[in-house]
Amino acid sequence: MSAGGVLTAQGLELELTQAGKRRKIFAKVDLELRASEVVSLLGPSGAGKSSLLRVLAGLRTASAGRVELDAAPLAGPSRKIALAFQSPALLPWLNVEDNVALGLQFEKPAVGRSDRRERAREALAEVGLADARSLRPRELSGGMAQRAALARCLVRRPEVLLLDEPFSALDEITRAQLHALLRRIVRAHATATLLVTHSIDEALLLSDRILVLGGEPATILERFEVAVPEPRAERLRELEAQRLPIVEALARAGRNRLIASPPVETPRGEPACVTTR
């Protein structure tokens, strides 16, 4: 592991072809993920947050810049990096235990069947699903399905956890339970974690640092340290004091995108309404 971040990115740029035209999605992105911390990534819809996550996971190649894992160049997917999406994406024909153990079948060196089962059960116990291992995905609640998806990440014992809005579809109580679970997991395993979210409150409750992505092309516009001690749910006034600067940064990020983006033409040639979330 490097003396600094577990996962670092310097000068990242991504250019894609969209509707027959080349578009630079993000540029000059620098970031660092350290062990035992959660970093949240906020920004308007369409700013490139999910695309950045895929570059950091080694699933997409950047047009420029570099990503390093433990001070070595990242050339593709790594068993040290786990990625969870908004949808749990559990295979319906497998039970929960087999869904969690599935990724271990492709590990090198190979993991034996009994070891896969043992590690899957350990991961399920850690997320509170020990008694649900024989259930099919259709029998799970939304919160249980997200716990299973988190267990599928943990079973690989990753150094880096990349999360793409995994809690956005959950009710408030279930989301709060999974927030607490994520914090425990990060501390227990010293995992470097990057969370993409649209929720400022979620970012404040979970994060050690918050990054705001925006502009056209997008870049990191603002960086915030969240120095409020835990348990943060009991320190809401302190969190509220940090909320306003983040709201203002997001407003600037949205305006920067609208100013830099060309107007969208409607079939009648009139500018269409553009909104950001």
Which sequence spans correspond to the domains of the chain? 87-157
165 near 196, Cβ under 8 Å? yes
Going from the C-alpha of 33 to that of each of 56, 140, 213, 225, the distances in angstroms are 11, 32, 16, 13
Mean pLDDT over 124-139 rounds to 96
pLDDT of amino acid 19: 82
User: How would you class 142 by CB atoms within 10 Å of its CB: exposed for 0-12, middle for 13-18, buried for 19 or more?
Assistant: middle
pLDDT of amino acid 137: 96
Mean pLDDT over 113-122 rounds to 93
Q: Give the closest residue to 211 by CA, choosing from 40, 50, 51, 56.
A: 40
Q: Name the pLDDT band for 111 (thresholds 50, 70, 90).
A: confident
| Rounded Cα distance, 77 and 82, in Å | 9
| Rounded Cα distance, 252 and 248, in Å | 6
Q: Give the closest residue to 39 by CA, choosing from 14, 74, 71, 7.
A: 7
Buried b (16+ CB within 10 A) or exposed e, 165-176: bbbeebeeebbe
Q: Of the ranges 30-39, 168-177, 248-257, which one carries the lowest mean pLDDT score?
A: 248-257
pLDDT of amino acid 144: 95
| Rounded Cα distance, 124 and 27, in Å | 39
| Rounded Cα distance, 13 and 52, in Å | 9
pLDDT of amino acid 14: 96
| Rounded Cα distance, 209 and 105, in Å | 35
Q: Name the pLDDT band for 255 (thresholds 50, 70, 90).
A: confident
Q: Is the pLDDT assigned to residue 170 strictly greater than 60? A: yes
pLDDT of amino acid 257: 60
The predicted model scores a pTM of: 0.87
Q: Give the closest residue to 9 by CA, choosing from 144, 198, 211.
A: 211
Q: Which residue has the higher pLDDT, 104 or 135?
A: 135
Mean pLDDT over 172-180 rounds to 91
Identify any residues that bridge with 172 across adjacent strands, giving them in sequence order. Answer: none
39 near 195, Cβ under 8 Å? yes
Identify any residues that bridge with 210 across adjacent strands, giving them in sequence order. Answer: 40, 224
Q: Is the pLDDT assigned to residue 267 strictly greater than 50? A: no
Q: Is the pLDDT assigned to residue 269 strictly greater than 50? A: no
pLDDT in tens, 35-62: 999 999 999 988 999 999 999 999 999 9
38 near 232, Cβ under 8 Å? no
